[in-house]
Amino acid sequence: MNYSFQEESAMDLRSLRFLVLWPHKSAMEECLLDVDFAETTRHFSMRNDEGMVVACCTIVQEAKEVSRKKYVLRLRAMAAHPSVRKMGLSKQLLDHVMGIFPGKSFWCDAREVAVPFYLKCGWEIRSEVYHIQQIGPHYLMIKDL
């Protein structure tokens, strides 16, 4: 199977988000973020030969100051379909996406279960654990230049 990077509309990411990120919601139509349609928000995916979105993420212009440094872009809704996990596709997608924003630093609310993935991608933990309702334990993580 071959995979290719795409820039997406949030509408086309709802199905994977529902399956992987927010199965507690009642329908995929609810799997949208308030910032999904902001002019500066951008969505990316990796699709397989059949056109199926197998991994996705969203980049939001939302700055956060951490230890007196400003991280300007927020990574949100990073997800990979269970059928393609641990194949390196999400790391490839993240590397590709970060290359689209040269010179920018990133932050995210990382689910505890995804922390090993982000560490492998060169991100760093910058908080104690905190809890997000309905989702679970998270850590603030950053990716410096």
Ligand X SMILES: CC(C)(COP(=O)(O)OP(=O)(O)OC[C@H]1O[C@@H](n2cnc3c(N)ncnc32)[C@H](O)[C@@H]1OP(=O)(O)O)[C@@H](O)C(=O)NCCC(=O)NCCS
Give the footprint of ligand X on this chain (CB under 6 A).
Answer: 20-21, 55, 78-80, 85-91, 110-111, 113-114, 116-117, 120
CB of 16: closest distance to ligand X in angstroms? 9
Give the chain's length: 145
Quote the CA–CA distance of 133 and 24 in Å, as a whole number: 11
Quote the CA–CA distance of 82 and 54 in Å, as a whole number: 9
* Contacting residues for 143 by C-beta, under 8 A, at least 6 apart: 98, 105, 106, 107, 121, 122, 123, 124
CB of 76: closest distance to ligand X in angstroms? 8
Q: Which two tokens stand for residue 89?
A: 């596709």
Query: 10 or 78, CB closer to ligand X?
Result: 78
Query: 60 or 79, CB closer to ligand X?
Result: 79
Query: 52 or 87, CB closer to ligand X?
Result: 87
CB of 116: closest distance to ligand X in angstroms? 3
CB of 63: closest distance to ligand X in angstroms? 19
Query: 100 or 132, CB closer to ligand X?
Result: 132
Quote the CA–CA distance of 74 and 104 in Å, as a whole number: 10
